Chains A and B, each alone.
Chain A
Amino acid sequence: MTHPEELLAGYVDGALTEEERAEVDAHLATCRTCREEMELSTLAVAALAELPEQPVPLGVMNPVAAEIRRRSAGAAAAPWWGRLQWAAGLAAATALVAVVAVALPRLGEEERGAALRSEAGGATPTESVPGADAALARGVFLEIQPDADYSAEDLEALANGAAQRTGLSAVAPGAATVADAEADAAKACLVEPGGLTEGDRLVRLIRARFDGKPAYLGVYLESPGADRPPNRVVIWVVATKDCRILSFSSKPL
């Protein structure tokens, strides 16, 4: 007996024409083997539907990202997804993940300084910023917020606050601190775990607390490639003690 093998898969999938289906039905009426196999086939399709899609493990794409970077001579920013994996891994490992979606408008170079001078959103206000211009020129600037203790929600407020205050030009009066040496250390701390690069476009750098732990907060704007406008904002929170990731958030602009 010849079995309509090429039609049997389509029969189970419901992908046959009426004519083809009638042909298979006629065959099944007389072929016990095919009837049994149809039952098995249906069972297999249902079983395969139970296979869950698995997330890509952390770090899998690092060699690919490295190769892209290597080929992109002079390209500053690493693809954002590499960092997400890196951060998510560390954060999960320490059970300290706190992902908060944030939004920032695109910040041009001229807006950057204003953003840096803006107040923190949900935490205690940023203090004055003597020496900020010089630090800005080098892309290294640290806002000291000794009494601020950020929560995950505060990260969102921080971003929103920065977004709303990009037009401000005046520096908030008060006791501001810019520690250039520490700013360099803070930036290095954000870069150290391997997910960030020196070329990332830092918008704000803050020393405060996160859930009670002394932390550096870095707000980055990321571009999909050199000479292209930023399309994503990422906020990183690392422990000042050991540069361990405490939290991060990311959202397309």
Chain B
Amino acid sequence: MPDGERDEDLVRRAVSGEHSAFGILVERHERRVYNLALRMTGHEEDARDATQEAFLTALRKLSSFRGEAAFTTWMHRVTVNTCYDLLRKRRRAPLLERSEEHEPEPPAAPDHADATDLSIDVQRALLRVPPDYRIVMILHDVQDLPYEEVAAIVGVPVGTVKSRLHRGRVALARALRGRSERERPEPPGPSDQARSR
């Protein structure tokens, strides 16, 4: 049953020339990839571009996937890098310095106005958090990935993931409460000493 195949087996088939196997991988992972890109960029158009580019990059580089990490981890890493590239290209990073003129587009949920308003507020606040902190929150708090996998995706030690997670959360909550984070180039943590360790 093809749909029950392991990702790594599908990669092997795709690399050996059976490109349609990659289509199954896309089908499996497109939603996570798109939502990661959407939360990271805050814009549907950017998320679309990042999602396309991430999968096209993955297809091009599939032969470099050695299986040391799970395909999911590898695909997330490709997506994160694509998002960073996109943010750099569009001069939207660091987003703390961004004006309010590019607000996130509201998700289509006309029958749930309150929930929609809240999620827009959260998305807006998320964009006020620097990308290095935002990404760990998206991966851990939104996509429920464990610290270790987030560390593997982002390429930092687990301890750094945890401290960034805490600092990012605090920054997000402050942004939600309406505090201006623009004057703070980095989210304030309880200890600057810990940051430099």
Where the two chains meet, the residues of A that have a C-beta atom closer than 8 Å to any C-beta of B are 1-3, 5-10, 12, 15, 31, 33-34, 37, 40-41, 43-45, 47-57, 60-61, 63-65, 67-68, 71-72, 75, 77, 79, 81, 224-226, 228, 231, 252
Contact = CB atoms under 8 A, between A and B. Distances in A.
Contact of B30 (A9, A51, A61): A61
A67 B23 contact: no
Looking at chain B's contact residues, is the secondary structure mostly helix, strand, loop, or mixed? helix
A40 B142 CA distance: 17
B2 A231 contact: yes
Given A5-B166, A48-B141, A40 B23 contact: no
Interface in B8-59: 18-24, 26-27, 30-31, 34-35, 38-39, 44, 48, 51-52, 55-56, 59
B129 to A, nearest CB: 9
A56 B23 contact: no
B136 to A, nearest CB: 9
Given A5-B191, A48-B172, A64-B59, A228 B2 contact: yes
A56 B142 contact: no
Interface residues of B, number: 57
Contacts, number: 162
Residue of B23, B55, B115, B168 with highest tally of chain A CB at under 10 A: B23
B23 A68 contact: yes
B18 A225 contact: yes
A41 B20 contact: no
B170 interface: yes
Given A48-B141, A60-B52, A81-B23, 15 more contacts: A5-B163, A6-B163, A6-B194, A40-B170, A45-B169, A47-B118, A50-B119, A52-B119, A54-B107, A60-B30, A61-B26, A61-B55, A63-B52, A79-B27, A224-B23
A68 B48 contact: no
A51 B176 CA distance: 13
Contacts of A5: 162-163, 166-167, 189-191, 194-195
B46 to A, nearest CB: 12
Nearest to A34: B190
